[in-house]
Homo-oligomer: A and B are copies of this chain.
Amino acid sequence: MSARDSILDALERILSDEGERAATLDAVAAHADVSKGGLLYHFPSKTALVDGLLARLKELGELDLEKMRASPDGPVHYYLASSKADGSALDRTLVAVARLALGGNTHAQGALEATRSDWLEAISEEVHDPAVAAVILLLGDGLYYGTLLTGEAEHPVTDEGLPDLPALLAVVDRLRPGA
Q: Which A residues fall within an 8 A CB radius of B?
A: 18-22, 98-99, 101-104, 109, 112-113, 116, 120, 129-132, 134-135, 137-146, 148-151, 157-158, 160-163, 167-168, 170-172, 174-175
Contacts and interface: CB of A to CB of B under 8 A. Distances in A.
B19 A163 contact: no
Given A112-B149, A150-B109, A168 B21 contact: no
A129 B162 CA distance: 11
B21 A149 contact: no
A99 B175 CA distance: 33
Contacts of A138: 138-139, 142-143, 145-146, 158, 168
A160 B93 CA distance: 24
A141 B146 contact: yes
B103 A149 contact: no
Contacts of A102: 19, 98-99, 102-103, 148-149
Nearest to A22: B104
A172 B130 CA distance: 13
Nearest to A116: B157
B21 A163 contact: no
Contacts of A168: 131, 134-135, 138
Contact of A162 (B104, B134, B149, B163): B134
A102 to B, nearest CB: 5
A32 B158 CA distance: 38
A104 B21 contact: yes
Contacts of A109: 149-150
17 contacts: A19-B102, A19-B103, A98-B102, A99-B102, A101-B149, A112-B149, A120-B162, A131-B168, A134-B167, A134-B168, A135-B168, A135-B172, A138-B142, A139-B139, A141-B142, A145-B145, A174-B174
